[in-house]
Amino acid sequence: MLIFKQKTPKTTQISPQFTLYLSAAERLKTQQRIALEDRPPIYLRLNRGEIIEDGDILLSETGEIAIAIAAKPEPVMTVTAHYTLDLLKAAYHLGNRHVPLEIKPDYLRFPPDSVLASLLTQLGLTVQLETAPFYPESGAYQHKHE
């Protein structure tokens, strides 16, 4: 089984052999076995606390094989509003509920939740179920210690 233990620096020019699509939740796990459809399973064994990001290149233990990481499209609720202040209020309510949240200037995204969708709709926001890559904020306490 191929084991991937390190990320390459962003400036490294390496051509990956294939791309591995991971959901937001999967990108949080630094230790995991991944079954692939067209290849033998692989194992990610990165340092604890390391964050796997869209666009990262991971190297195998031997350094002979490189894979690219890409964000897998997944079901999400996308919230839009006519006014930025309404999006800020929505972010406040979602943050109070500790919901994984992607925050952009013109929309918010979070995992599907019909109760939260109903709350936001009652507040006058537009909520749409979509399939898209999800990039939640990592939060104030999720960072790597050197």
Residue 57's DSSP bridge partners are 68
The verdict on residue 94 lying in a domain is yes
Domain boundary among 21, 53, 71: 71
The verdict on residue 127 lying in a domain is yes
- Residue 73 in contact with residue 133, Cβ under 8 Å? yes
Are residues 51 and 111 part of one domain?
no
- With a CB cutoff of 8 Å and minimum separation 6, the contacts of 36 are 20, 42
Domain boundary among 71, 86, 119: 71
0.95 surpassed by pTM: no
Q: Report how many domains make up the chain.
A: 2
Domain that holds residue 85: 74-132
The predicted-structure confidence for 5-35, as pLDDT tens digits, reads as follows 999 977 788 899 999 999 999 999 999 999 9
Residue 145's pLDDT band (cuts 50, 70, 90): very low
**In angstroms, rounded to a whole number, what is the distance separating the alpha carbons of residues 79 and 126?**
6
Name the residue type at position 99. Answer: V
The verdict on residue 143 lying in a domain is no
Are residues 118 and 83 part of one domain?
yes
- Residue 109 in contact with residue 77, Cβ under 8 Å? yes
**In angstroms, rounded to a whole number, what is the distance separating the alpha carbons of residues 107 and 128?**
11
**In angstroms, rounded to a whole number, what is the distance separating the alpha carbons of residues 72 and 59?**
20
**Tokens standing for residue 135:** 């990039």
In the predicted structure, residue 82 carries a pLDDT above the cut 70: yes
Are residues 113 and 93 part of one domain?
yes
Name the pairing type of β-strands 107-110 and 102-104.
antiparallel
What is the reported pLDDT for 13? Answer: 85
DSSP 47: P
